[in-house]
């Protein structure tokens, strides 16, 4: 992609984001603080709509190489945006997510696998999408973490193994940078909304599946390790406390750091980004061509993360149900 085209796309997407802000203000597409929020001001919701729009613009300019992926992206973005406007039932949301993932699997050629592997992949994909959505709770974390992941994937695609269209990665990075301009700040101008966090998760999942299929290397799952650790450990601790894991909560580690330790949003988001960057560097330097399996790669950070949670939050908070 030439610098001129890069600047043109950036200007167009930036302008479209500003247009959306005007629409959102007019129709009151806003996020109001509640007892589960980590913010206390009314803020525009759905700023992450720029993520799917960016890839649609990319397709119109360079061609519709990944038609089924784009259809899936449209489906999952549409239902998520409607959910931002008016709460939609979980069954309908999940149905759209499964349809979108099915299109994603068709695009990436996963259907050649045995049936049971497809089921496992479906559970993993929908779980990953919703996990990234659940992690979208403070300023900067979705855009910051997404930027780290996409830039790492771009580096791998350009310098290690080509697995996808470079333009799609570049445009995705631009869209996240534009979103971060409005969100990665003390007083955010907008939040990603479900349309942002879920569409970004779907986009990242697409690139990740392409990378894993191209290299046949599951170690690349560690590109989402910190989000995965926070999500999985939170679910496990809630199960131990005999809580209903489908109910809304503020039990994630990042929420504890912000709400109970009063750490600034951007500091927590920055810490998550930094740790994931370190993991990504270790992955690229030592484990891309390694014979060690994923469990070995992930074991050390898993143990460290759990110990940090126990030491900081305390065994009683993590293991005992507060009535």
Residues 90-105: tens digit of each pLDDT: 899 999 999 999 999 9
Output the pLDDT for position 290: 63
Whether residue 86 contacts residue 218, with contact meaning beta carbons closer than 8 Å, is answered with no
- Does residue 26 fall inside a structural domain? yes
Asked if 72 contacts 101 with a C-beta cutoff of 8 angstroms, the reply is: yes
Cα–Cα distance, 46 to 87 (Å, whole number): 14
pTM of the model: 0.94
Q: Does residue 4 sit within a domain?
A: no
Position 217 in a domain: yes
Q: CA 288, CA 62: separation in Å to the nearest integer? A: 30
Name, in order, each residue with C-beta under 8 angstroms of 216's C-beta and a sequence gap of 6 or more. none
Residues of the chain under the 70 pLDDT cut:
33-40, 289-297, 323
Distance CA 150, CA 319 (A): 35
| Nearest C-alpha neighbor of 43 from the set 19, 65, 59, 21 | 21
Please report the pLDDT score of residue 221 as a whole number.
92
Let me know: does 200 contact 192? Beta carbons within 8 Å. yes
- Asked whether the beta carbons of 49 and 77 are under 8 A apart, the reply is yes
Indicate whether 9 belongs to any domain.
no
**Structure-block tokens of residue 126:** 């929908």
**pLDDT value of residue 249:** 85
Q: Check residue 27 and give its pLDDT.
A: 92
Contact between 99 and 75 (Cβ < 8 Å) = yes
Q: How many domains does the chain have?
A: 1
- Beta strands 30-31 and 43-44 are antiparallel
Domain assignment of residue 285, yes or no? yes
Nearest to 54 by CA among 18, 10, 20: 10
Exposure string of 60-87, with b = 16+ CB inside 10 Å and e = fewer, is: eeeeeebebbbbbbbbbbebbbbbbeee
Q: Are 73 and 100 in contact (CB under 8 A)?
A: yes
What pLDDT is recorded for position 41? 73
Residue 5 belongs to some domain of the structure: no
Give tens-digit pLDDT for 298-317. 788 889 999 999 999 999 88
DSSP letter for 138, please: S
- The answer to whether the Cα torsion of 186, 189, 194, 196 is positive or negative is negative
pLDDT at site 285: 84
Q: Is residue 1 part of a domain?
A: no
* 67 contacts: CB under 8 Å, gap ≥ 6: 107
pLDDT score, position 294: 63
**Angle (nearest 5°) at CA 272 between 130 and 180:** 75
Per-residue confidence (pLDDT) for residue 35, from 0 to 100: 52
Smallest CA-to-CA distance from 152 within 161, 289, 228 is with: 161
- Write out the residue range of the structural domain in which residue 294 sits: 22-319
Neighbours of 224 (CB within 10 A): 21
Tell me if 7 is assigned to some domain: no
């Amino acid at each position: 992609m030439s610098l001129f085209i890069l600047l043109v796309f950036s200007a167009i997407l930036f302008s479209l984001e500003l247009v959306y802000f005007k629409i959102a203000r007019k129709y009151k597409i806003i996020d109001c603080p509640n007892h589960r929020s980590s913010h206390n001001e009314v803020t525009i919701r759905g700023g992450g709509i720029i993520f799917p729009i960016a890839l649609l613009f990319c397709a119109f300019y360079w061609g519709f190489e990944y038609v089924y992926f784009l259809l899936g992206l449209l489906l999952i973005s549409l239902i998520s945006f409607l959910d931002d406007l008016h709460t939609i039932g979980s069954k309908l949301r999940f149905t759209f997510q499964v349809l979108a993932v099915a299109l994603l699997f068709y695009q990436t050629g996963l259907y050649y696998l045995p049936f049971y592997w497809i089921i496992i992949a479906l559970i993993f994909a929908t779980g990953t999408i919703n996990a990234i959505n659940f992690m979208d709770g403070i300023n900067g974390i979705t855009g910051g973490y997404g930027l780290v992941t996409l830039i790492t994937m771009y580096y791998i695609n350009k310098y290690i193994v080509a697995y996808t269209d470079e333009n799609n990665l570049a445009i995705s990075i631009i869209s996240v940078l534009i979103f971060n301009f409005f969100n990665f700040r003390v007083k955010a101008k907008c939040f990603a909304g479900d349309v942002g966090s879920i569409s970004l998760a779907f986009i990242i999942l697409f690139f990740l599946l392409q990378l894993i299929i191209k290299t046949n290397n599951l170690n690349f799952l560690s590109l989402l390790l910190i989000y995965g650790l926070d999500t999985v450990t939170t679910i496990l601790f809630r199960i131990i406390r005999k809580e209903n894991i489908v109910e809304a909560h503020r039990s994630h580690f990042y929420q504890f750091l912000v709400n109970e330790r009063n750490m600034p949003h951007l500091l927590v988001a920055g810490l998550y980004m930094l740790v994931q960057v370190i993991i990504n560097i270790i992955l690229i330097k030592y484990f891309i061509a390694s014979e060690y399996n994923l469990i070995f790669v992930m074991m050390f950070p898993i143990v460290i993360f759990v110990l940090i949670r126990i030491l900081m939050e305390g065994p009683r908070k993590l293991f005992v149900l507060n009535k």
